[in-house]
Chain A
Amino acid sequence: MALRHPRHALNNLLGHPVRFSVAALLAAASQLEFSFVRDHVEVSDSVLSKQVSALEQAGYVKVSKGFVGKRPRTWLSLTKDGRRTFERHLGALREIAQS
């Protein structure tokens, strides 16, 4: 039987509010610095690290490390799969919101 209710298109991982906010920020960006995401999602480094790891393991987020001078920088970006999944999740939310 085909599952028609939009909730079936929701992604479990993105159901978490912090992960959803991180994905929403990254969806509008080419790449964001870790501290930018932390400041805007308003979570601690450790909480963000944990949630980003979960998204990275799922293949939704790419983490790149580099340096500006001597200062280490961590950059986050959505992968193609992550972008597709987030768009599908948003589409399901829109359908639910209209119901």
Chain B
Amino acid sequence: MDEVTPQEARAALGDAKERAAQVRQTDTQFRVILLVLAGVDLTAALLIGLFPEGRSPLVGITLLVVFVGGLTVGVIVLLRARAYSRRGLVFFTWTCAGFTWWNAAVIGVSVTTGWWGPHQSATHFSASAIIAAIPLLVAAWLVGRWR
């Protein structure tokens, strides 16, 4: 290989750094998906809190539309993606796994402590759903701070 001068080496290193930054900019797509998931969770919390079961037949349909809509948006964002950074993909996977465990823990605690029950207010469910969304909101906030 031809001799590489320190200046050329520095230029190449700068190029590598810039390329890595270009890939990392695509991590915003994961932020969109995390916010959509959190939005679905919080909308469900709001709807069930405002319209407890049996008081409005439209609530079930609205919830279904929100879930299917959220899922559709997430799938479309992933299908349209042209790049997956290593950091973004690992972070997104761990966030989804963390959210699943956290959600299970919130449900478990809500049931075992009697926070959820037939005679409890629907707002209890809403409060649990809001707490369950915390990992998604924190992760979306962290992705937004990445450079």
Contact = CB atoms under 8 A, between A and B. Distances in A.
Do A and B assemble together? yes
Chain A contact-residue range equals 20 to 34
Contacts of B2: 15
Chain B contact-residue range equals 20 to 34
B23 A25 contact: yes
Contacts of A12: 1
Interface in B1-45: 1-6, 9-10, 12-13, 15-16, 19-20, 22-24
B82 interface: yes
Interface stretch (B54-62, B83-91, B102-110): B83-91
Contacts of A3: none
A45 to B, nearest CB: 15
A28 B23 contact: yes
Given A32-B83, A33-B83, A24 B4 contact: no
A29 B23 contact: yes
B84 A96 contact: no
Given A7-B3, A12-B1, A24 B82 contact: no
A36 B83 CA distance: 7
Contacts of B84: 29-32
Given A7-B1, A10-B1, A97-B13, A28 B6 contact: no
Interface of B: 1-6, 9-10, 12-13, 15-16, 19-20, 22-24, 79-80, 82-87, 89
Interface of A: 7, 10-12, 15, 17, 20-21, 24-25, 27-33, 35-36, 40, 68, 90, 93-94, 96-99
